[in-house]
Amino acid sequence: MCKKIGIVAVAIVAVLILLSKTNLGSYISFSWKKSKEFLNKQVPPEVEIERLRHELTQLDPEIKKARTALAEEAVAVEMLREDVEKHRANLSKRQNEILTMRRDLEKGDTHLVYNGQRLPVSSVRTMLARDWESYKRAEEGLKSKEKLLEAKEAALAEGHKQLLEMTGLKEQLQAELDQVEAELKTLRIAQTRHGIQIDNTRLSRFRNSLDELKKRIKIETRVLDYEAKYSNHPAVEIEKQVDVADKALKEIDERFGKVAAER
């Protein structure tokens, strides 16, 4: 197995050297470019328009995905903003408590009362030191959250901007594609007017069939007329015999006169 891999590797290196040392690589690249250009020219503009329209529709899921991500981030930013506001309010409250304890210690009393408990000054001092350290940690935490909120708000604003640009660009491309399609239809109409042949074989077959049908109807109508005119019906025969007799009487009167007929 290793031997086969080695042979393949040597063959690849040999091909790469051949391409780099000769013009073969250039010929291949040029031929590939020409082939692509040829294939592109063989694609009708109508097909290319449909392909581009399909590509535009593929942007819709991406836009929807971006909107969803943006909405999730917006909710996260709102929640973080509310947390920062609560943290600020809590820190302000603790600051007032620390300042109150600090002022109480300045009074010089031996005992101080907090939350219904009478505490010695030493305990108050210890409690103040503990609360102050906790306050400083909370203050650092608030600063971190404020920086995070600032960064998230900036990212959210940038996200809104990008989504707006993406949506606007899609609409612009859609409008341009519609314009190109309209121009192509106008071109096709102009080509037709200038003698560009269109395959009307189906229309020709339909016209021939219609003319043939009309001819058949006329023939059948004429046959029916002839049947009525030249029918051997008895009434028709009697009518013919009467006509013949009248003709004979007329010819006799013309030849011999009516007097001869009266004698």
Tell me the two tokens of residue 94: 């603790």
Task: Write the secondary structure of 240-257 as one string of H (helix), E (strand) and C (coil).
Answer: HHHHHHHHHHHHHHHHHH
Tell me the two tokens of residue 151: 């960064």
Tell me the two tokens of residue 250: 């007329």
Q: How far apart are CA 96 and CA 231, in angstroms?
A: 129
Per-residue pLDDT of the chain (263 residues; tens, 9 = 90+): 555 555 545 455 454 554 555 554 454 454 445 445 444 556 788 888 888 888 888 888 888 888 999 999 999 999 999 999 999 999 999 999 889 888 888 888 888 888 788 888 888 888 888 989 999 999 999 999 999 999 999 999 999 999 898 888 888 888 888 888 888 888 878 877 766 555 556 666 766 777 777 787 778 777 777 666 666 555 445 455 556 656 666 766 676 665 444 55
User: Can you give the pLDDT at residue 203?
Assistant: 63
Residue 91 in 3-state DSSP?
helix
Q: How far apart are CA 186 and CA 192, in angstroms?
A: 10
Sign of the alpha-carbon dihedral angle for 71, 58, 180, 41: positive
User: Can you give the pLDDT at residue 38?
Assistant: 45
List beta partners, residue 113: 118
State the CB neighbour count (10 A cutoff) for residue 124: 19
pTM over 0.75: no
User: Can you give the pLDDT at residue 32?
Assistant: 44
Tell me the two tokens of residue 221: 């109508």
User: Can you give the pLDDT at residue 138?
Assistant: 93
* Closest alpha carbon to 135 in 190, 77, 91, 88: 91
Q: How far apart are CA 102 and CA 144, in angstroms?
A: 27
